[in-house]
Structure 1
Amino acid sequence: MIGPALSDPGIPVPSLVVETTETADLGPLVPLLDRGHPLLWMRRGFGLVGLGEALRLEFTGPTRMTEAAATWQRVVAAATVTDPLARTGTGLLAMGAFAFADHSDQTSVLIVPSVIIGRDKGLSWVTRIGVGELAPMSIPSIDPVDEPFRVTLEPGSLSADGYRAAVASAVSRIRAHELNKVVLARDIVGRLPDHADLRSLIATLALGYPDCWTFSVDGFVGSSPETLVSVDNGSVSARVLAGSAARGTDESSDQEAATALATSAKDQDEHQFAVQSVLASLRAHSPNVTASEVPFTLKLPNLWHLASDVDGELTDGSTSLDLVSALHPTAAVAGTPTADALRLIDELEPFDRGRYAGPVGWVGARGDGEWAIALRSAQAASGTITAYAGAGIVAESAPERELLETRMKFRPIAEALS
């Protein structure tokens, strides 16, 4: 394991040796995870499992993402890679999670696993990574996942009444024209059972939300519906979510909920703030980037979202980590104008978001990668688990409605732990 000092450009990076080999399908990914330190990036049963740590990079502060991008380029340049498959997700890559705030006490990490298992439609592979030399090839064993465990989740640093008051304060500030939108979050906390198998939580999330990005990095787990940015062979894409509504109780009420969301002026305004934030950030790297003309309603098991897809071609050779730095934080998780929204978040949220609403995903040697915004997520550490959920506040927001929205967004984690 190599520590954070490698972000200093004057310190040499280790010379990694990397070899990818095609293999037979090893089956479902979750049972292959290390129960003590699960590393996973998966959607619809396909993705990446990481075992062990060949290299660990940690970053803090306002330059954490640009330092990560620069350090990763140095690691790639020093590596010797044998990758006959030469496709997205093979060869050298790192899995990572970044803190939301510049001043967060939570470290941001890039982890290069010692072994990576990749599973895609019609193809599976194993990548071995070592410093100087490779360990002998061995097929990872399947470790049965423990039965789900239960956790009682209680309000954290911000009670329901405290959240309503924070929303009311934010609405007042927005109506006074101090800013246009702010995203306010709250936290809930529970005690983990001794020797809890986080893989059971991960498996439940993946089963319940197969179309989301299910992830686990450094004790940070979740299933996010929102793609911050994806880069594949020079193409860039993103999915922007802002504006949400509860699912109906039957087919008729469910369709009514979707229609009400699609025609809500409040939710459309909130959504446009988020879309324009992403487009403005990407235009410097992809001048012809475009978004869906009209937002569409995205159906998840627990709610409807207003969604827009963004697509473009990169013209400046940016890596996915470069774009993560350019995009974060979007209006969907901070607000607009960004600086004003962040100041109000610091004022009204009495806790450190940690990695919640920060970028989580992976980056490859060519700069390709997939990064989600870490929503519907929780951080496990020191025997506790802390989950987070937020809502976008605009001038028309009502405190009780926004509180109910956070309860809906807690459902993936809360139900997986109940």
Structure 2
Amino acid sequence: MGTGSGRLRDRRAAALARYVVAATLVRSADGGAVVAIVLLALDCGLPGWLAGVLGASITAPHLLGPFIARRLDTADDGRKLIALSAVLHGVLLGAAALLLPVTWPLWPALLLFASGLFGPMLTGGISSRLPAIAGPAQRSQRRAQSWDVASYGLAGTLGPAAVAWIAAAADPLTATLLLASAAVLGAGGILALPRQEPPVRGVDVPGPVRTLRLMVRSGPLRRTLLLTVTVAFSVAALPISAAAATLDTPPAAGALVAAYGIGNLLGSAALMIRPLRRDADRLMSSLALLVAVMLTLTLLTPGFSASLAAFGLTGTANALFFAATLAGRSEYAPQAARGQVFIWVGALKIAAGSAGTAAAGAVVTFGSWVPLGLASAATVGAAAISVLDRSRSGDRPPR
């Protein structure tokens, strides 16, 4: 019995390692694509506004991801669908990069838009596979979710950093093509993951609009969505405030943002050692409040060294919060719409981050502290609303 359970643990550990490698590869391609395309567009002599439009062509379609996600909940083997999405994302990104220097920008923009449609499959779609890897025990699932947070952090750091380094050492086109190759390579790793149980025949799988309504009606999922979107909106203010506060010394802004990324990775490492244990619904409220406290700390901390520490602590708090939201999505999503729930939350999170960046840019003219002050207030408000909502509703997540 002991030997059998040990072999099962070993198989799950090996599958989790394959998951982290594959997820990091494809998410690096997704996360670094905007930087790669903007650098390539500028290298081709295009104006900055057009480079920005091309970059937005990749991120904007993420909002449409939920409308193609139902197939993930109805597929006999979701690995094949996610792997195909990774391949198409990489091929379309590479084709757009090859066309950009030689053709009218409209055609690369259309290819980038099509590439971005598959982005949600590489974020929330892959995360929805974790329960099949980690097994039914909550502690195992929480530890696997900690590794998933690390995958997001590594991809968000390595993708743009690799693009910048390769673009400087060779050229932006080479960087973009290598990034596209990472997505195709990661697809092979996805196919090597354990197969999830196929959907039960005859079970009604809701469509995207019905899934969103289901999420709004379910108290735990409603609060998961509210807090995820608000915190994503809020932390998006950090780079803007960092840049405004260090206007005379631009490298300092980069150091502050890097400190946030390092803090995020350290938070992920801490979770691997000691996974979250409490109820995910309550944890999200508490950890959102912790993020708000850290945002306030970055606002009030004087001196560059102290600011580095504050940004790092904010990154750590956000890693803990993100792990709680992954647990919420996994534990409260109805089985028939698990993939769609993951992708809906992920898509709206990306949209909220973009809106947060735009809002911070609009108000930073009133002072570098203003975006962080508003972000902290918004996060406190969302945490308070979640607590009140939980105390007033006795609803259970649908199954």
- TM-score, length-scaled by structure 1: 0.28
Greater strand share, structure number: 1
Higher relative contact order (Cα pairs below 8 Å, separated by 6+ residues): 2
Query: If each structure's helix is expressed as a fraction of its own residues, which one has the higher value?
Result: 2
